[in-house]
Amino acid sequence: MAENFDVIVIGSGPGGYVCAIRAAQLGLKVACVEKRATLGGTCLNIGCIPSKALLQSSENFHQMSHDMKDHGIMIGEVKLDLARMQARKGEVVTANTKGVEFLFKKNKITWIKGAAAFTGPNTIAVEGKDYAAKSIVIATGSDSVPLKGVEVDEKRIVTSTGALELDKVPGHMVVIGGGVIGLELGSVWRRLGAEVTVIEFLDRITPGMDNEVSTAFQKVLAKQGFKFMLGHKVTAAAVSDKGVTLSVEPAKGGEAEQIKADIVLLSIGRYAYTEGLNLAAAGVETDERGRVKTDAHFATNVPGVYAIGDVIAGPMLAHKAEDEGVAVAERLAGQAGHVNYDAIPSVVYTWPEVAAVGKTEEELKAAGVSYVVGKFPFTANGRARAMGATDGFVKVLSEKGTDRLLGAHILGPDAGTLIAELTTAIEFGASAEDVGRICHAHPTLSEAVKEAALAADGRALHI
């Protein structure tokens, strides 16, 4: 006989575990199915958390190796202990996954260990045992998109998973794909001494980012030593004991060339992961890209079955999944949870960082919206000068006539933190003037946000 719950969440990534916790807080009997040995999904185990640990460590190494003399700090030869750096990353991951396990125990959430498969609209089987629930939430996340002719072995040709586990710094790393994950992990190994070449099919990096910001971002990365082959595609990869030889040709057609690499990082995107779920047994529909179809309230076509996070349409961001998990849990408890997709920030954790919320200029132009641009460079910010971190700028977009904030984009130090203020402003329908009139502490990087908001009205003070 099946064990019964109010809610079963399939997947314990940021969307799944947050959904389970919130549902339990609201008094529901909750179980969460996870096939990994640890909770936290891709994000905590092989994604967001380990990558940020290595990004921080590699940035520290780079600063010690290159930037301290300007501060009057004289350091001898800086040596890399990659094994210790990787061990520290593992410790950070363990602390986070154990933290989720503690929260499950605290909130009396049942962890069902194994892979779930639907056996009906409100029933699943895990490791030969049956479970039933009034509501089932699919939160199975995503996986790396493969590329024909480039076979991943996680040794020479790696996804983000393998790129986080390298035991030595490659002489030359080729990153296939100029998106966020590839640039972040490319930054890790570039800082540690690797040559990094990025091959991108499109004629720009970071597709979907505000074009002005993307162009400036590429220049900053080039200054750091990145090499770019834009408008090119990889058609084949040959692996040997000495490395990988890639066949690369222009995306629009042309003569192929050979590029040699020690390590190739394949990072061309991610796809919704539903393998093994047996969605057909429940009658759950998917779209042309394999994503679970949902309505505005995350409900599938099957009553009682919901889906959130990377497995449905929308940006593949951990915090987007978290907010959707909370919204679903609250709706299942009779409340009115919702997500404002116009106020979901995104961050690229390179140095400097890139962060954005709301619309890009290109999106506003395509929609025929009249807007005003306010910009302020970090070269004119006192704190940025003191830090020696003056690359980049803050850019705000407000609606012409009403001055309502429509979008904000930051390339610069701690952009991921600075974007929170502008996300809050957009969430509450603020104008650029509202942000510009707020008193910001001096000297702080956040003053650049204030100045950009003032610039939308042509009255920036420090430029």
* Strand-pair partners of 259: 246
The residues that are catalytic are 442
Is residue 307 classed as helix, strand or coil in its secondary structure? Answer: strand
- The whole-angstrom separation of Cα 338 and Cα 327 is 5
Token pair for residue 13?
């990534």
Helices (H) and strands (E) in the chain, counts: 14, 22
Q: Where are the beta strands (DSSP E) in 215-370?
A: 227-230, 232-240, 243-250, 257-261, 263-266, 270-272, 305-307, 346-348, 353-358
Contact present, 141 and 13 (Cβ < 8 Å): yes
Contact present, 454 and 460 (Cβ < 8 Å): yes
- The whole-angstrom separation of Cα 326 and Cα 16 is 9
- The whole-angstrom separation of Cα 5 and Cα 107 is 14
Is residue 236 classed as helix, strand or coil in its secondary structure? Answer: strand
- Rounded to 10 degrees, the C-alpha dihedral 290/183/16/416 comes to -130
CB-based contacts of 176, cutoff 8 Å, min separation 6: 147, 150, 182, 199, 234, 264, 265, 266, 267, 268
Q: H helices of 180-302, where?
A: 180-191, 211-223, 279-282
Q: H helices of 26-81, where?
A: 41-46, 48-66
Q: For 312, left (φ over 0), alpha (ψ -120 to 50), or beta?
A: beta
The pair phi, psi for residue 445, each rounded to 5°, is -65, -30
